[in-house]
Structure 1
């Protein structure tokens, strides 16, 4: 009876509140992802999960997570714990991070990493780098709008996996008409890591007071920014055509597709061939001109055309090749015979000029007398026995 009365009162109160426009709000929900933070030195994002769920074998409690940096493609979190690691982290500009359960981006948590920023208006602008001529890395930047005339920029680079303690300064600066550093050239780019961090900072100020300038940095994927040099091409005639070989010129690309442009005197239009090897046989017995360019399969970067290689592989040229080889072989044989005869003649001449000294077969005894040959035309006295 009491329960029925209580239920009736509850329904009556709810109807009265509804008629008066009073709505009951649900208590606020606790976000499932809590304590999101980042360790700048380790470039690791960590969090706690409060949404429940099952624990995978060898993993942490909850669903699988994805992490996104600056709106890029997400990466998977470490299955053994609630963390994500990134290959690089900017210490110069704001970086936004997002963490969410896989397939549940509505439950995402966000973090904004804000480094110290003392003088952002004077910081370098439009920092960009590229690899060229196989072994050179060049970087350029512009003066910040708030930079003074005496601003002095400095550029540093390091492996993106390392901290700024591993920075090394640019060895060759480029300056503008006002004497400010606006670029850098680094040789032996092939010795650098495939992903590097380039940082530009500096100092400058009015009235002789030099204040630090905020830094600008960029993560450089060396393969993606490489300007491919044309392949080195060689070609030679064979009995049934031309053999073409080439070598790609890159320190950071390993897989290529090559495009050959073949011009033959017997054809009005050039022919294009797509190959993955580094040699090609052109079946021709006339004049041919060949050039090649490379395209990196991973980055899609394309080189310029190589220098064209022209040859005449007609019947006369193909016959001349074995004839030349035969003549060279004959000349080599003649030279070998002449060298042997010369050695024999020299041995005979030396034996006549310097005859060997005969060896004494009988050892000298006490009854033997040694003498010295006297000069010729000397007086001789005849001795006789009386």
Structure 2
């Protein structure tokens, strides 16, 4: 690689020398126009086609009658080699470096990584530069036409920013540049940048499965959520009873099983044009063989079982509590004493038959009263 760039340098020097000696050289004054994001030059004469390279990788070809090369994104921090060459005619190669290096590269942030997660959030993390001064501090920005700082930082144990989160991905451009700038009182800190497309760096969350089922069939549905991906692919894993699990690859967000019985299902998802799958969702269990024409959703059945389990002891507690309260509010009346029967408790009693007594003649004795003599 060093040999290649030595040849580029020598060719560029040769071109510059020719410009001084040969006023008919075709291309002069190669330069970058950052505001327009284009590499341009002064063209003297006709050429068939000019190709533009970044670090020896072909990026695009010149437009507007071979006047310049247009780039979607320019590096803001990392120095790269921009070169142009002719496809026909005498060999020609000219290059420049952009942007200019400032400060110690070892003090810049390192290993910048960004990802979209949990539908709404963009998080970026980085490491402190190996040669960073002790008072270094880093700040994260996103840039399209303007530059905005990330609002929610996380720090390491020395108070240096090493992570930041944007809360509302839906308000961000779908393509943007992320850069980390460093500051220090005693040194210039180079920045670190990365161009990202949000749909490519999203880590999707597996959706939840809902189902309507009976003993004849089960219809499962789900919905993946994303602000930056619109089409999805799914892998649905199903296991019926003790049978081996099998996997279905789907583009639809529904699937039907015949004669489902009781089964387990889980799901993972990826963007349609992406390569990275989400994690598997937690296994979900569905009980479908509950009798004829039972079409209750699984969550409703589970809820009813839980409610029944809780209601039985709850009802017992309520009844016991209610009986105790009634006992306190309405205590039993004490037994009243009978002054006659309570004292004759051990005596022998004879029943009196009034009708019999009326039929008997009572003996009559004559009593004579004698006067005093």
Whether the TM-score (by the shorter chain) exceeds 0.5 is: yes
Q: Secondary structure at the match of 2:293?
A: helix
Structure 2: unaligned runs, 5 residues or longer: 1-17, 297-373
Alignment of 1:91-240 (within 5 A): 91-101=76-86, 107-115=92-100, 117-159=102-144, 162=145, 166-205=146-185, 210-238=186-214, 240=216
Q: Is 2:265 the counterpart of 1:290? A: yes
Deviations 1:238-264 (A, max 9, x none): 573111111113222222221111111
- Structure 1 gap ranges (5+): 1-27, 53-61, 323-386
Q: Would you say how many aligned residue pairs link Structure 1 and Structure 2?
A: 276
Aligned partner of 1:278 among 231, 236, 253: 253
In the alignment, is the contact (CA less than 8 A) between 2:213 and 2:219 conserved in 1? yes
Q: Distance in 2 between matches of 1:302 and 1:105?
A: 49
Alpha carbons of structure 1 residues 288 and 51: separation in structure 2 relative to 1, 3 Å: farther
Task: Answer yes or no: is the 8 Å Cα contact 1:232–1:249 preserved in 2.
Answer: no
3-state secondary structure, aligned to 2:81: strand
**CA 247–80 in structure 1, closer or farther in 2 if over 3 Å, else same:** farther
Encode CA deviations 1:299-343: one digit per residue, 9 max, x unaligned. Answer: 2121111222321222x3452338xxxxxxxxxxxxxxxxxxxxx
**How far apart are the structure 2 equivalents of 1:50 and 1:284?**
78
Distance 1:84 1:97 in 2: 10
Is 1:301 the counterpart of 2:295? The answer is no
SS of 1:190's partner is helix
Deviations 1:35-61 (A, max 9, x none): 322101111112345573xxxxxxxxx
Q: Structure 1 CA distance, aligned partners of 2:83 and 2:194?
A: 20
How far apart, in 2, do the equivalents of 1:292 and 1:104 lie?
Answer: 58
Note the alpha carbon deviations across 1:216-235, whole angstroms, 9 max, x for none. Answer: 21112222222121123212
Residue 66 of structure 1 pairs with residue 40 of structure 2? no
Please report the TM-score for the alignment, with normalisation by the length of structure 2. 0.66
Residues 154-199 of structure 1 deviation map (CA, whole Å, 9 limit, x = unaligned): 221122xx2xxx2111211111111111111111123211221112
Tell me the secondary structure at the aligned position of residue 76 of structure 2.
Answer: coil
User: Per-residue deviation at 1:105?
Assistant: 11
- Secondary structure, aligned partner of 2:114: strand
* 1:36 alignment partner in structure 2: 30
CA distance in 1, matches of 2:102, 2:262: 66
- Deviation digits for residues 14-46 of structure 1, max 9, x if unmatched? xxxxxxxxxxxxxx7976544322101111112
| 8 Å contact kept, 1:234–1:309 | no
* Cα RMSD (Å): 2.8
